[in-house]
Amino acid sequence: MTKSTSIIIPAFKEEEKIKNTLTGIINSFQKENIKFEILVVIDIVSNDKTFDIVKDLSNSFNEIKIITRNGKLGVASAIKEGILNVSNEISLIVMGDLSESPEDLVKMILKMNSGYDMVFANRFTQKSTFHQYPYKKFIVNRICNWTAKTLFHINSKDITNAVKAYKSSILKNIVIKSTSFEIFLELPLKAYIEGGKNFTEISSSHFAGDPKNSKFSILKDGPKYVKILIHCLTFSR
């Protein structure tokens, strides 16, 4: 029997894509008869209809559970809030911008059924496809991945991808230090350090979207990745 899944989606100004993200996930998971809940953690700000869209959908789909916060509190804070509220065996972190294929998300959960501690969506295998991924971001990503792989001896080709599935029991024991996107590096590293070494990756289709609308900044967020690498390296000794 497929393990039950809690899907955590941080949502800040995702009014253009959140409906298609949620309906795509719901349709794909229902098709496979997977028991699931979707925890949408919404940072509510003015001139944004994300909450209204998700609230309307929740009236039709009982699987959607909404957690609201006033103001922009950040992606790391949203992920932490989601982890505190998961109630199923597997936790799957997904972005709200329709960046991943719902079918790939289902594949990750089916892989977790084989007893893995973690399953990563890998954007950079020969079978993977990614669209509109900025070249500078790609170079920085590859450097960060190589550094993490070398320092922690973790054989992952896409350690920084946000989209990962974890045993919920592992996530709930992690003390999170991140304040922004570096949480997507901290979680797998700490899970691995604390014994979650049985992991695998699946090839994924990734749609980066318009770089102009990206909430990630190399200049702002890059140094945070360096700090979390140092923190995790110290943490591991």
**What average pLDDT is seen over the chain?**
91
Average pLDDT over residues 183-189: 97
Q: Is the pLDDT of residue 68 over 80?
A: yes
Q: What is the mean pLDDT of residues 167-181?
A: 95
- 188-202 residue pLDDT tens: 999 999 999 999 999
Residue 41 pairs with which residues in a beta bridge?
10, 67
What pLDDT is stored for residue 216 in this prediction? 66
- The mean-pLDDT minimum among 69-83, 109-123, 180-194, 196-210 falls in 196-210
Residue 96 — pLDDT band, cuts 50, 70, 90?
Answer: very high
What global pTM score does this model have? 0.92
Question: 57: Cβ–Cβ under 8 A, 6 or more apart, which residues?
Answer: 19, 22, 23, 64
pLDDT tens for 49-67 read: 999 999 999 999 999 999 9
- Per-residue pLDDT, 121: 93
Domains (ranges, CATH) in the chain?
5-235 (3.90.550.10)
- Over the stretch 24-34, which tens digit does the pLDDT of each residue have? 999 999 999 99
